[in-house]
Amino acid sequence: MTRKVVIVGAGFGGLQVVQDLKGAGCEITLIDQRNHHLFQPLLYQVATTLLATSEIAWPIRRLLRNRPDVTTLLATVTGIDRERREVLLKDGGRVPYDDLVLATGATHAYFGRDDWEKDAPGLKTLEDATTIRRRLLLAFEAAELSDDPAEREAFLTFAVIGAGPTGVELAGIIADLAHRILPREFRRIDTTKARVLLIEAGPRILAAFPEKLSAHATRSLERLGVEVQTGSPVTDLGEAGVVIGDKPIPCRTVIWAAGVQASAAGTWLGVETDRAGRVMVSDRLTLPDDPHIFVLGDTAHVETDGKMVPGVAPAAKQQGKHVAAMIRADLAGKPLPGPFRYRHMGNLATIGPNSAVIDFGRFQLRGRLAWWIWGLAHIYFLIGTRSRLVVALSWLWSFLSGQNSARLITQKETLRDQ
């Protein structure tokens, strides 16, 4: 009988498993709750009007149209019946498996304050990005309409909470939007007066980078007009703004870029997880008590050389390759590959429209050259010639014309439907 491999999640990890199982002779079912594969590293550019949604996401069916061995299901997984070896779907359906790969990623963590989400959306999906884009653009419109100076100021104050790469990238581009791109278009307000706050509870921004790069990033952000506030835990937030310590700051647009929570895979399986809900897997990326259930990417806690593998796209892809190699070897009756080993490619973050920091471990880069390397790397990893050309052209157009192309307010308010 043909071996049934069920893969849940068509993100970086899941899709890599599908790719590497080509020709392996198994029957693959790929389940995702969305119909597209998303390039999350450029999501912040959709949220800040630089790119359109279709430039960083691709219909999964189209990507796999030449793979008759793969059946794609648009469905939400809600559980696993380990005894009967079936995946449970939200609509009541069941999908049987011989091998199961869970690559369901992560979402935001609000550290016990989930009620903050409606006022401070995080950035994880296309819906999040268009929600944030809508709120940003509407804040400028509301400020233009308002005759009350205090209200105007609140509409023109933008707070980004959490200063990892995503927070830094968002703050830099929002400042650029307000200070360089929009001023000529508004008559009643001066958008250069907009305040962009980057609020970080820890002592410095980009904590995973060396201190030198973090200091450089702070200076670059400040040059762009971002107010960087470190050592500033947010104690409350709501419609009216954020509270840092006991100091309220009126602001109408707040974005959450702090904290990560793994998908519910650990709960479905009833197994041990770490504090962020990541499933503790063996060094072969399987459950310790079931060599036919693999968990990988942002939803797995994996350690190599005593260090936890970070939640980044290259790690998920490398794990996807490893899992596919394990399944292929097992199918062919060959010895299984050894433990998974992570190869770190470096940490990258952009700061505004043409500066970046890169930490390759042995050496570091910053400024415009780093931005070019960041840009080329991201274009290389996009899927297909069309996307590469369109994204490169959008960046070039924005650079030459001082205009961002994706500034339409097109939808009603929507939040993530987790």
Ligand X SMILES: Cc1cc2nc3c(=O)[nH]c(=O)nc-3n(C[C@H](O)[C@H](O)[C@H](O)COP(=O)(O)OP(=O)(O)OC[C@H]3O[C@@H](n4cnc5c(N)ncnc54)[C@H](O)[C@@H]3O)c2cc1C
Active site residues: 169
- 10 near ligand X, rule: CB under 6 A: yes
- 351 near ligand X, rule: CB under 6 A: no
- Give me the half-sphere count of Cα atoms (radius 13 Å) on the Cβ side of residue 122: 22
- 266 near ligand X, rule: CB under 6 A: no
Length of the chain: 418
Instruction: Report the C-alpha gap between 182 and 140 in whole angstroms.
Output: 9
Is the Cβ of residue 191 or residue 355 nearer to ligand X in the bound state?
355
Residues of span 75-104 touching ligand X by CB under 6 A: 76-77, 103-104
Indicate which single residue of 6, 17, 28, 44 sits in contact with ligand X (rule: CB under 6 A).
Answer: 44
Residues of span 295-324 touching ligand X by CB under 6 A: 297-299, 311-314, 316
CB 403, min distance to ligand X, A: 23
Residue 307 has phi, psi (to 5 degrees) of -115, 145
Q: By beta-carbon distance, which residue lies closest to ligand X?
A: 11
Q: Per the structure block, which two tokens stand in for 273?
A: 């997880």
Is the Cβ of residue 43 or residue 382 nearer to ligand X in the bound state?
43
Contact pattern from residue 59 through residue 78 relative to ligand X, giving x for each residue in contact according to CB under 6 A and a dash for the rest = -----------------xx-
Q: Distance of CA 240 to CAs 33, 157, 158, 243, Å?
A: 34, 11, 12, 10
Is the Cβ of residue 3 or residue 416 nearer to ligand X in the bound state?
416
CB 395, min distance to ligand X, A: 15
Instruction: Report the C-alpha gap between 75 and 256 in whole angstroms.
Output: 27
CB contact burial 313-332 (16+ within 10 A = b; e otherwise)? bbbbbbbbbbbbbbbbebbe
CB contact burial 107-125 (16+ within 10 A = b; e otherwise)? bbbbeeeeebeebbbbbbb
- 279 near ligand X, rule: CB under 6 A: no
Is the Cβ of residue 48 or residue 263 nearer to ligand X in the bound state?
263
Q: Per the structure block, which two tokens stand in for 160?
A: 């980004």
Q: Is 190 exposed, middle or buried (0-12, 13-18, 19+ CB in 10 A)?
A: middle
- 58 near ligand X, rule: CB under 6 A: no
Residues of span 149-208 touching ligand X by CB under 6 A: 165-166
Residues within the interface to ligand X (CB under 6 A) = 8-14, 31-34, 40-41, 43-44, 76-77, 103-105, 123-124, 165-166, 263, 297-299, 311-314, 316
